[in-house]
Amino acid sequence: MPSFSASAPAKIILFGEHAVVYGHPAIAVPVMQVQAKAIVRAEPRGAAGKVRIQAPDIGLEADLSDLPAANPLATAIRGVAEALGVSRLPALTLRVTSTIPVAAGMGSGAAVSVAIIRALSAFLGHPLPAERVSALAYEVEKLHHGTPSGIDNTVITYAMPVYFVRGKAIETLHVGAPLTIVIGDSGVASPTAIAVGDVRRAWQSDSRHYEQLFDRIGEIVQAARQAIEKGQPDILGGLMNDNHALLRAMGVSSPELDRLVEAARAAGALGAKLSGAGRGGNMIALTTPENAPGIALALQAAEAIQTIITEIKTRIT
Ligand code: PMV
């Protein structure tokens, strides 16, 4: 049996994180420069059921049977086996690698899941359609935090700009004019579960205030959708700044993220905001293509540990 491999991109949320957990829309786009990759190789001499997992980036080398049931990689593998009605997997080695920063709001967990689900289902002779891939990756997302909106697994599976509302059919987004985004990594690891849990507790204790913040974010997302479709980056920059202010008010920014956002604006960005769960991880800045390298340099000077320049189009290849 030959080996099968699959890759999945990272993602950034352009607008609407956190509010999306509470039923408001959000806009997310894939980032193809960094990817997760899974390779499944048959082990013809291995005993049936022996599944070896190698994930050198996180220092993991183990048999599936030795991993805790709630391990994300194990959950993705078992999800595929169950979906395909395979009670005992053939002997195989699964190797997972990724260049996506971990716990940084770029969907590394979802990308790893999508790559595994695609490679393993193809290896088993039944490549799953996108809808099922996304649904299985969503089950893994639940391990990271109990109430994921599903935006990460959706945008990463489809690898297209999406307008996402929890529980609704996916809408891909037409991008009227290409957008140039500079991504800056604060270098502060921020598990999504903690920020999402803190927002939930704050919402429970002051629901009126938080509902207002979520509503305003929802309005920004609607306006951003129009500006993206019509190709109006100037309007989008202001909306990004407004969205960042609301995320700050929600308590999910951090001094490091605010410093990077300020640095990007001072270097001429059209707008900037944190992206993802916040507290750490990445921020994004909207810019003209000519200004992108200068903004990346300004972010590095403000202590971003990594910068990525990415262009957003309707179809990102
Ligand atoms: O995975 P992250 O860090 O990009 O966060 C996901 C975005 C949230 O809205 C904060 C959570 C969710 O499930 O949508």
The number of the ligand 1 atom at minimal distance from the alpha carbon of 278 is 3
Per-residue pLDDT tens for 7-47? 999 999 999 999 999 999 999 999 999 999 999 999 999 99
Average pLDDT value over all residues in the chain: 95
Q: What residues line ligand 1, using a CB cutoff of 6 Å?
A: 13, 17-18, 20-21, 105, 107, 148-149, 151-152, 192, 196, 276-277, 281
pLDDT in tens, 175-225: 999 999 999 999 999 888 899 999 999 999 999 999 999 999 999 999 999
pLDDT higher than threshold 90 for residue 103: no
User: Above 90 in pLDDT, residue 315?
Assistant: no
Task: Report pTM.
Answer: 0.93
For this structure, is 215 an active site residue?
A: no
Nearest atom in ligand 1 to the alpha carbon of residue 16 is: 9
- Whether residue 309 contacts residue 292, with contact meaning beta carbons closer than 8 Å, is answered with yes
More confident residue, 209 or 102: 209
Residue closest via CA to ligand 1's atom 1 equals 105
**Among residues of the chain, what percentage have pLDDT more than 70?**
99
Which residue among 57, 63, 66, 152 is the active-site one?
152
Residues 229, 175: contact at Cβ < 8 Å?
A: yes
For the residues 113-118, what does the mean pLDDT come to? 98
Ligand 1 atom closest to the CA of 166, numbered from 1: 14
* Per-residue model confidence (pLDDT) at position 1: 59
Query: Does the pLDDT of residue 258 top 80, yes or no?
Result: yes
Separation of CA 175 and ligand 1 centre (Å): 22
- Give me ligand 1 centre to Cα 107, in Å: 8
